[in-house]
Chains A and B, each alone.
Chain A
Amino acid sequence: MENQPTSGGCGSGCGCHSDPGGQADATRRNLLKAAGVTLGAAAFAKAISPIVNWSRENLSVDEFLQQHYRELDKEQLAAVMKRLEQDAKKNYGADVTISDHRPQKGVKFGYALNLSVCIGCRRCAEACHHENNHDRATNNSYIRVLEMQKGSMDIEHGNAHYDHPVPHPDKFYMPVQCQQCDNPPCVDVCPVEATWKEDDGIVVVDYNWCIGCRYCEAACPYHARRFNWTKPVIPKAEINPKQSYLSNRIRPQGVMEKCTFCLHRTREGKMPACLEACPTGARVFGNLLDPDSEIRKVIDNKRVFVLKEELGTRPSFFYFFDE
């Protein structure tokens, strides 16, 4: 009897019938299907909404089609920087000047830090925050000051969240920022060549070429790279208007950023902001290629060391203790 065709049914022997009960079944199924489709569509719309909104609000056609920094000629770069200035005006209401600072011939930057006199006051991190137009809400900074147990050199056991009068007698303080490695692992892993090492030793990022994959953040043994999780929020009055394309211009959401030894200052001959802010004079900055520079005197006369030397990254950032 099961295989006999029955009048009013679907005829496929599936067991459905044309009686009122069967009608109710079909309606319920259709209802569930419709509900499923609606929910699925809603979930999909919700899932892609950040992309849709992000594209509509922030990404212009010019920006989307922009070439890599090193592929731009002078006129194209000038047009890009002008557009970025207009974006800063539109998004932040601030009148900023974005320049293109190039390396000087015969200069390779080096930085040294005297751990005997650093007291861990974090003024360098604060100066970095303001100089480099970091997001105010997150207290972001390219410098992380680690409180270290005396006798330990393992930065993985340093504590950045100390909150007591400093210096504590049992601790020493080690500010860690980008070490501007000569063999930078962060550059090696970038899948789109959005980050590279310049001739004066600074590792830079083209924020408009970066795809935000964060490989470089994972590759950096010094935890020196930062990711822009959100669009940086900075009050108009607090924006540092003197900006550089590869340095402290306000970064877009979703890209990596890093310390550039304040190249917008140092390529003009000035000291980095963190050095000027240091109240104890723990920081020494200069040209490694100039044998009379302060940084060379430190390297020649002090027992300097670099962090995680065994990794072969060859940092341009040196630490030392007095005597």
Chain B
Amino acid sequence: MFFGVIAVIAVFFMGALAIPWLQRNRDRPGRAFSDKKPGDFTHPVVIRKPGGVALVDTGKKDSHGQAVMVACATCHDTRDPNFNANSGESLKEFHQGLKTQHGGQTCLSCHNHEDYNTLKRADGRPLDFSESMQLCAQCHGPQYRDYQNGSHGGMTGHWDLKQGPRERNHCTDCHDPHHPKYPLVMPVFPPKPVIGEAIPSADGEKSH
């Protein structure tokens, strides 16, 4: 009986202590959530588009100092297609400095000799320059798959499309179609030693 009374008093006592303690944790910023929720996709994912029509720099400047650009058809409308050409050096004139290193492709593997303002799929169907990702995807399937899954290609904007849009790079933003391998670059922003850090020797091993 006596211990029962003690137990009841103890329970009330603990409750009296616990209730204010629980209430004290309300409205603390450290425990609150933001009112933002991820959810319905309301903003678009925009893929940067390459220009619709290809223009080639003639290397000449006009009277305003602007480069003179010329459309493909200006020359190619009156010439027979050369199906063997696979680099700028193999040509007698024009496209001379064009660096090409893209597998064993010839120019006309991708360019449409019937309409130079378009590209050509592997099956011969024409393809607009603005749709050139489809051309790349014919051979580079794993990369295209990864691109669609969001794990290939740079992007800017929002991870949460509920809160804002996203802009994604096109293949040609990073890869020159004529020599697509990403070039060597010099690293930027060299780290400077902070106090207590050992600078590694030339072989790259840290000296502890």
Q: Which A residues fall within an 8 A CB radius of B?
A: 69-74, 77, 100-107, 112, 114, 117, 119-123, 125-126, 129, 137-141, 144-145, 147, 156-157, 159-167, 199, 226, 229, 266-271, 275-276, 278-281, 284-287, 290, 293-294, 297-298, 301-302, 322-323
CB distance from A285 to the nearest CB of B (A): 5
Knowing A119-B182, A140-B194, A141-B189 are in contact, say whether A161-B200 is a contact too (CB < 8 A).
yes
CB contacts under 8 Å to A, within B25-59, are 27-34, 36-38
Knowing A70-B28, A104-B37, A280-B154 are in contact, say whether A138-B192 is a contact too (CB < 8 A).
yes
Q: Which residues of A contact B174 (CB under 8 A)?
A: 279-281
Q: Which residues of A contact B186 (CB under 8 A)?
A: 164-166
* Chain B interface main SS type: loop
CB distance from A168 to the nearest CB of B (A): 9
Query: Is B17 part of the contact surface with A, judged by Cβ < 8 Å?
Result: no
Knowing A139-B191, A141-B191 are in contact, say whether A161-B36 is a contact too (CB < 8 A).
no
Nearest B residue to A272, CB-CB: B159
A104 engages B184 (CB within 8 Å): no
A102 engages B34 (CB within 8 Å): yes
Interface size class on chain B is 35 or more
A125 engages B191 (CB within 8 Å): yes
Query: Is B195 part of the contact surface with A, judged by Cβ < 8 Å?
Result: yes
B194 engages A112 (CB within 8 Å): no
Nearest B residue to A171, CB-CB: B204
Query: Is B77 part of the contact surface with A, judged by Cβ < 8 Å?
Result: no
Query: Is B142 part of the contact surface with A, judged by Cβ < 8 Å?
Result: yes
Which of B81-89, B99-107, B124-132, B161-169 lines the interface with chain A? B161-169
A112 engages B151 (CB within 8 Å): yes
21 contacts between A and B (CB under 8 A): A70-B28, A73-B28, A100-B29, A102-B34, A106-B37, A112-B151, A137-B192, A156-B206, A160-B191, A163-B187, A166-B186, A226-B194, A267-B36, A269-B38, A269-B161, A270-B159, A275-B155, A276-B155, A278-B154, A286-B159, A294-B159
Q: Which residues of A contact B155 (CB under 8 A)?
A: 271, 275-276, 281
CB distance from A290 to the nearest CB of B (A): 6
User: How long is the Cα–Cα vector from A223 to B174 in the complex, in angstroms?
Assistant: 32
Partner pick for B28 among A72, A138, A278, CB 8 A cutoff: A72
Chain B 187-208 interface 0/1 with A at a Cβ cutoff of 8 Å (1 = within) = 1111110110001100011100
* Chain A interface main SS type: loop
The 7 closest A-B pairs by CB, nearest first: A70-B30, A269-B163, A294-B150, A269-B160, A159-B204, A281-B154, A126-B189
Query: Apart from A126-B189, A268-B163, what 7 extra A-B contacts exist at CB < 8 Å?
Result: A72-B28, A101-B34, A141-B191, A161-B199, A163-B190, A167-B184, A229-B194
Nearest B residue to A270, CB-CB: B158
User: How long is the Cα–Cα vector from A137 to B191 in the complex, in angstroms?
Assistant: 11
Between B29, B163, B195, the greatest number of chain A beta carbons within 10 A of the residue's beta carbon is seen for B29
Q: Which residues of B contact A145 (CB under 8 A)?
A: 187
User: How long is the Cα–Cα vector from A125 to B190 in the complex, in angstroms?
Assistant: 9
A266 engages B159 (CB within 8 Å): yes
Nearest B residue to A149, CB-CB: B204
B37 engages A269 (CB within 8 Å): no
User: How long is the Cα–Cα vector from A229 to B196 in the complex, in angstroms?
Assistant: 11
Q: Which residues of B contact A137 (CB under 8 A)?
A: 192
Query: Is B153 part of the contact surface with A, judged by Cβ < 8 Å?
Result: yes
